[in-house]
Structure formats: C-alpha cells, structure tokens
Amino acid sequence: MSAARNAFTKLVLVSLIAAAPLPGQAFNDLLTRAERTEFRETSSYDEVMELSERLADLSPDIHLTSFGYTNEGRSLPLLVIGASDASAEAVLATGKTRVYVQGNIHAGEVCGKEALLILLRRFATGDYPTWTDELILLIAPIYNADGNERVSLNNRPRQHGPIGGMGQRPNAQGLDLNRDHTKLDSPEARSLVAMMNAYDPHVTVDLHTTNGTRHAYYLTYSPPLHPNTPASIDSLLRDRWLPEVSRRIKEKHGWDYYYYGNTGGRGGGDAAWRTFDHRPRFNNNYVGLRNRIAILSEAYAYASFEDRVRATLWFVEEILDYAQQNAAEIRQIVEAADRVPVVGTELATRAQPQRSAQEVTILMGEVEQQRHPSTGQIILLRRDVANPTRMYEYGTFAPTETSVAPEAYYVLPDAEAAIERLEAHGITVVRYATERELSVERFVIDSTTVAGREFQGRTERTIYGEWVPTMHTFPAGTAYVSVDQPLGRLAFTLLEPRSDDGFVAWAILDEQIEQGLFPVLRVAAPGR
C-alpha cells in the first residue's frame, strides 16, 4: 500500500475511532466499497443505500429520504443534514443556507459518489461540527442510479480506474442526464427539478470526472456559463469563492485546481483553454438561470481513482466551509437576484465563447501508459509534472443575439407539452378559463432548419422570423406566463423562439411549427 493511501486510510480510521459506533457496529461497515477494495471497485446502488441507511441510523442529524425515481424505478436517495427531519417544510423553516450536492450524474464518473459517502460518514462520526450552524446539506450521492448498475470494464476505457469497472454515462433510456435540464425527458431530471422547487437550494454542486486534455490540475471547476446568469452570482464565484477554495487547497494539500477547460474544442487554430457550453441543458448553467449559485466539479480522469476521490472530497469540504462562513451573504445574493427586474432587459438568446484579453498560464501535464490488469487495454496515469503554458482562455460567453424580455408570454393550449414542462420547472403558469381577445406580438416564421441527425432522442430545430404586432383571440386553456417572476430568466430561455436551448430547439413545439404556427405569443415590455 502506498504512503498516500496509508495516509488517506489513516484519516478514515481516525474519523471512525473518534466516534462511538452503534452497538455491534464494526468500523468496516461504515467504509465504502472503494475503501474496502483499496479503490479497485466502486459502490453499487444497493451498497450506497445500505451505507446511507447506516449513517442515518448512526447520526440523529442525518435524515434519509427520496427525491424521486429513475427510469427503472430505483428510488433516488437524498440525505438531509441540519433540519429536524427530511421534509422540505422542515428544511425551509430553519432559514439556513441550503446546499445541494450530487454525484454520479454520469455513472462512469464515480469519484463524486464515493467522496460524498465518505463525507457523510465523517459528518456522522463527528467531523464538520459547525456546518449545520448555518447550513442545510442536501446530499444525493447516486443520481444516475440505473447507469451505475451497468458496470463494464470497457466503460471510460482510458480512465485510471476503478479497475473493477464502472457504470455508463447515460441513464437506462440512453439519455445523458446532463443534457436534460431544459427538455425534461427523463424521470431523473423531473425528479431533480421537483426537488429544486420543493427545497430551493441556494447552492448546487455537481460532481464529475473530466475527459480528454492532459493537464496538471487534480480538479477543474466551472460556475454557470450562460450570459443571462445574474451578475452578482457570477461575481461571487469568480472573484471570491472559487479562487479562495483553490488557494486553501493549494495551501493545505499542495494540489492545483483551476477553471474547467480543454486545449481542443470549437474554433480550431492555436492551442487555447476552452470551457464547454453555455446552454442550460447542463446542470450548472440551468441552476444559474434559476438565480441560484452553481458549481461544477471535474476531477482529473487520469489521476488515480483514489486521488480523484480525495480531490473531490477536499473540494466539497472547502466549498462547504466557505458556504458556512458566508452563509448570510449567500442567502442575500440569491434573494436579491430573485428581485432583479427581468422585464424590459436585453437578454441573450444565443452566445459564443469569449476570448480572454490576454494570454493566461495553464498548467499542462503528462501521463504514463499502463495496462489494465484484466483487459490488457491501455489506461493512463497522471505523472507529477506541471508545464506552465501560455495561451488564451475561452472561459466565458458573450451574446451573439439578444431579445428584450417581454412582459409575458401566452402559450396556446395545443402546445400542452410546453405548458406541462413550464409547470414542471416550477414556473408560475395561469390558465385562462374563458376566451379573450388581446393585443400581442406573434412570431412570424419565414424559415426553419432541423439537425441532420437525432441527438438525445430529439431532432433539434432552429427557426427564423420576426415578432409582429397583432390582435389574437385566445381560447380557454391558454397559459399566461408572466416574466415578472423569480424564474423569469428561465421562462424567457424556454419560450423565446430564437433561444438556442428552448422548447423550439428541443423540438417540443414541432407539431405546431410544422403547420406554420408558432404557438407562443407575447406582450412586449412597457414602452417597447
């Protein structure tokens, strides 16, 4: 066993020994499968549930509940820490800052699942005693539970472990759950937004593992990337929270963390550090458009499995320490974001990556090739090398097309699929009981294009045209959606016809569009 593993295992056992176990409770019963196998294997769904139940029994502060179900009917565990019970009512009644942390949205990226189980055990056995003074923790260690059970030695083949295999990226429907936050085609995504509507976490942390680029960071991260994210949330994360977490980890552990990126990506040309995508189909971007704070975590794929778990655990610990120390300000920022007027403001409907003003220093790394002991395939292991390299960074997005947020939208009853999704997102919708004639704007379509192939179960669409004033008679059942509500930014993104990740883009309004009608009308902002 390596010196590093000895140190990590000692940390685990010290935490356990410091607490009195339940009668008949062996220390080994509180270890994850990863720990028991010296990080050769990862925990199954049943093992996650069993350990979660043990920890809830061990600590009176941990309450185990479910926030929904997977496509195959597995209950999605949610461990609630810091309230009198697991109900949303009890959580909201505390007035504390609420932090939701999830692992395993991609079930081959299992370091978050294992790190959260370790964190829960450490809390149950006496660590982190001050967190619940200011925080409520909502922990979901295994979001893509169906994908987790589809273990194969060939999933994520170049990733360094676990050598006993890991689950698959999509869920049982074949859908990537981190592309489903706007269209809501999976029961998992619907369960997630229902949890957000009920518990309303101020902060969301989503735990992943990287792909691709051979850099020198043990972990990279991202705030929300959509240009319509409230500026106060972006500033808190970029100017203070994430730099401070990186500084603390470097000071305590000597490891480098930085903003997520790859040296390839869109645009070609010279090497540059490029982040991923601004669209709210991704968790962190979606949460930002709900006026909430979001942090994406990406442990480095070619670090050892044990080091990925450690890097993720340390990251979550420092995020929660910072949240506890700044809990009141976090609540104030979120509450203020809900009050910022959206109606009449110019918002992005489409965007592109924005290049940094100057080159930045990126720590590039190296790997060594090893053979998987069971398959003989090449796997890659991080070498302890950091090569400072100057390059431009594409870490933010700028609008390429905008529209002024209207006062309200009207969704015709024929577009029931859109109305139902608005309600599932938690957007306030009022359905008219009687017919009425109103002066509105109608989007006149002059052309439309569709993608050449299916993506995530749908064929994406783009429409072109313009808004024109008209009188329209709305039948009973028409849905009225005010933009003057906390989720107004999200409503705008879902309903604007030129939005690059709305209901048009995801083909949810195809039946009406193919008949030449855009079934969403709007009332322009006052003075427009």
> Using an 8 Å Cβ cutoff, are 125 and 18 in contact?
yes
Return the pLDDT at 459.
Answer: 97
Query: How confident is residue 269, by pLDDT bands cut at 50, 70 and 90?
Result: low
Return the pLDDT at 28.
Answer: 74
> Using an 8 Å Cβ cutoff, are 478 and 508 in contact?
no
Work out the average pLDDT over 155-162. Answer: 95
Return the pLDDT at 268.
Answer: 47
> Using an 8 Å Cβ cutoff, are 83 and 135 in contact?
no
Mean pLDDT of the residues in the chain: 94
**What is the per-residue pLDDT across 286-305, written as a single tens digit (0 to 9) for each?**
999 999 999 999 999 999 99
pLDDT at residue 9 above 60? Answer: no
pLDDT at residue 29 above 70? Answer: yes
* Comparison of pLDDT for 514 and 212, the residue scoring more: 514
> SS3 string of 22-89?
CCCCCHHHHCCHHHHCCCCCCCCHHHHHHHHHHHHHHCCCEEEEEEEECCCCCEEEEEEECCCCCCHH
Query: How confident is residue 106, by pLDDT bands cut at 50, 70 and 90?
Result: very high
Q: What percent of the chain has pLDDT over 70?
A: 94
DSSP classification of residue 156? S
DSSP classification of residue 366? -
Please give the C-alpha separations between residue 408 and each of 23, 464, 469, 492, in angstroms, as whole numbers: 60, 21, 14, 9
Return the pLDDT at 23.
Answer: 38
- Alpha-helical (H) ranges within 125-229 are 131-134, 145-148, 187-199
Query: How confident is residue 1, by pLDDT bands cut at 50, 70 and 90?
Result: very low
Handedness of CA 499, 500, 503, 504 (dihedral sign): positive
> Minimum mean pLDDT among 12-16, 411-415, 454-458: which range?
12-16
Return the pLDDT at 10.
Answer: 46
Work out the average pLDDT over 67-91. Answer: 98
pLDDT at residue 379 above 90? Answer: yes
> Using an 8 Å Cβ cutoff, are 454 and 479 in contact?
no
The answer as to CATH 3.40.630.10 being correct for domain 3-56+66-79+98-352 is: yes
Domain boundaries, the chain: 3-56+66-79+98-352, 405-523
Give the DSSP letter string of 494-521.
Answer: HH-TT-TTSTTTTTTTHHHHTTT---EE
pLDDT at residue 27 above 90? Answer: no
Return the pLDDT at 13.
Answer: 45
Return the pLDDT at 270.
Answer: 73
